[in-house]
Copies of this chain bind each other. A is one copy, B any other.
Amino acid sequence: MNSNQLFDQISEKQSFLCVGLDTDVTKIPPHLLNEEDPIFSFNKQIVDATQEYAIAYKPNLAFYEAHGVKGWISLQKTIAYIREKYPEQFLIADAKRGDIGNTASMYAKAFFEDMDFDALTVAPYMGEDSVTPFLGHKEKWVILLGLTSNYGADDFQFTGNPPLYEQVIKKAQFWASPDELMFVVGATRASMLGKIRKLAPNNFFLVPGVGAQGGSLAEVAKYGMNKKCGLLVNSSRGIIYADKTEKFATVATQKALELKSEMAELLKKYCK
Contacts and interface: CB of A to CB of B under 8 A. Distances in A.
Interface stretch (A6-14, A46-54, A124-132, A216-224): A124-132
Given A126-B148, A129-B150, A62 B159 contact: no
Contact of A154 (B63, B124, B127, B157): B127
Contact of A126 (B106, B110, B152, B159): B152
A186 B164 CA distance: 21
Contacts of A63: 103, 106
Contact of A62 (B103, B124, B127): B103
Given A73-B69, A159-B159, A96 B110 contact: no
Nearest to A237: B102
Contacts of A152: 100, 126-131
Interface string A157-178: 1011100100110010000000
Contact of A151 (B68, B128, B151): B128
A64 to B, nearest CB: 9
- Identical copies in the complex: 2
Contacts of A35: none
Contacts of A159: 159-160, 164, 167
A249 B115 CA distance: 34
Interface in A100-143: 100-104, 106-107, 109-110, 114-115, 123-131
Interface of A: 22, 24, 60, 62-63, 65-69, 71-73, 76, 96-104, 106-107, 109-110, 114-115, 123-131, 145, 148, 150-157, 159-161, 164, 167-168, 171
Given A100-B148, A123-B123, 8 more contacts: A22-B103, A60-B99, A60-B103, A69-B69, A72-B72, A123-B125, A127-B153, A160-B164
29 contacts: A24-B106, A60-B99, A62-B97, A62-B99, A62-B106, A62-B107, A63-B103, A66-B114, A68-B110, A71-B110, A72-B72, A96-B97, A96-B99, A96-B123, A98-B123, A98-B125, A100-B148, A123-B125, A124-B125, A124-B155, A125-B148, A126-B150, A127-B156, A129-B150, A130-B150, A156-B168, A156-B171, A159-B159, A164-B164
